[in-house]
Amino acid sequence: MERVEERFLRYVKIDTTSVEDTGTCPSSPNQLVLADMLAEEMKAVGLSDVRRDEHGYVYGCLPAAPGYENEKVVGLIAHMDTSNAVPGGPVNARMFLYEGGDIVLNEEKHIVMGEKEFGLHRLKGQELIVTDGLTLLGADDKAGIAEILAACEYLLAHPEIPHGKVMVGFTPDEEIGAGADLFDVQGFGAEYAYTLDGADITEMEYENFNAASAVVHIKGNSIHPGSAKNMLVNAATVGMQFHGMLPVRETPENTENYEGFAHLVSIEGETDHCVLKYIIRDHDMEKFLARKARFEKIAAYLNELIGEGTVTVTLRDSYFNMKEKIEEVPWVLDRAYAALEACGIHAHPVAIRGGTDGARLSFMGLPCPNLGTGGGNYHGVHEYVSVTQMRKMVEVLVKLVSVR
């Protein structure tokens, strides 16, 4: 049997960075490369009904053990793409036993993962995989893929373990909010599922942000500055005014836990035009709606002040807090907690300050809380994964799908 870390190291060699606004699914061609690789590996492991559709979604089935065909069908899901926040490759990974202290990722470029800064003390004694500090690692979410397939291989090698049918799904473009767009929930055939897309394996995630994007378009009026009085409308300056009217402390760098925010992702403009792109996040629906309304109120104020049509705000909901859906099926959480506890892991709930395919899938009729994979520092060059935790999560998945 192949070790889970060997699978992982193979997958991260493929740069599957997703790309915004391509209008295609998947958004980058290498996602299809990984999808085809996974489909072949799923067949080689012994999964049945393996298929890769034209959009890059990969599905397969671990048949039920004899006599357990009537058990509820469970799904295990992970995503193939990686964040475009930093370069996605080529990944130069190395594995080592962490014995404490700062981790030097790249001595030549002075890139260090500080023990205190990144809370590494809790990882002492674990085997870690990191990069050379020039790219992300891809643990988000190739660690989840590796763990799912390692668990399936183990179950197929141990037919004495009782379990019902297990459906496996790998999605593209989760990092750009499109992972569940074309997921075939009905064809998947699971009654409930778990995404393997979290961080530390002691964390149970079934609450996430309500999320929206906001695009602010500002139309200026460019006039020669020597004769500009009462005629010039500097779109870039209006953009600064707009941003300055948002609560200065309600940003990602000033919030934690259940505190929401508006995050300026990008700003681009000149005198005659300016575009600001934001993401809006809050766990509480009432506060979430108020945050979106604030954008519209600021636009209305500036239009009244400067001129109608100067500021246009386009809001688009991305996903909602899955808590309300998961609370309807508490046994799904109970099953996960029991599997973790049986493997010696005392898990606790953590609210996701982000999103996951499971959030949208839960609203599509597939209750889908999120489990940790053993990674951390996602979306940056300091990303790592704990091989120790990856191996433990394979054990958890075997327990999770087993009939007890």
Q: CA dist 244 to 166, 169, 250, Å?
A: 51, 43, 12
Q: CA dist 392 to 127, 141, 142, 372, Å?
A: 12, 16, 16, 11
Give the residues across from 166 on adjacent strands. Answer: 62, 74
Report yes or no: 166 and 76 within 8 Å, Cβ to Cβ. Answer: yes
Q: Which two tokens stand for residue 151?
A: 């668990």
CA distance 72 to 88: 38
CA distance 129 to 134: 14
Report yes or no: 278 and 296 within 8 Å, Cβ to Cβ. Answer: no
Marked catalytic residue, from 5, 81, 153, 383: 81
Size (the chain), residues: 404
Strand order in the sheet with 375-376: 94-97, 127-130, 384-386, 375-376
The answer to whether 317 is a known catalytic residue is no
> Crossing angle, helix 285-306 and helix 235-244, to 10 degrees?
140
Marked catalytic residue, from 174, 175, 282, 357: 174
The answer to whether 81 is a known catalytic residue is yes
Which residues are part of the catalytic machinery? 81, 174
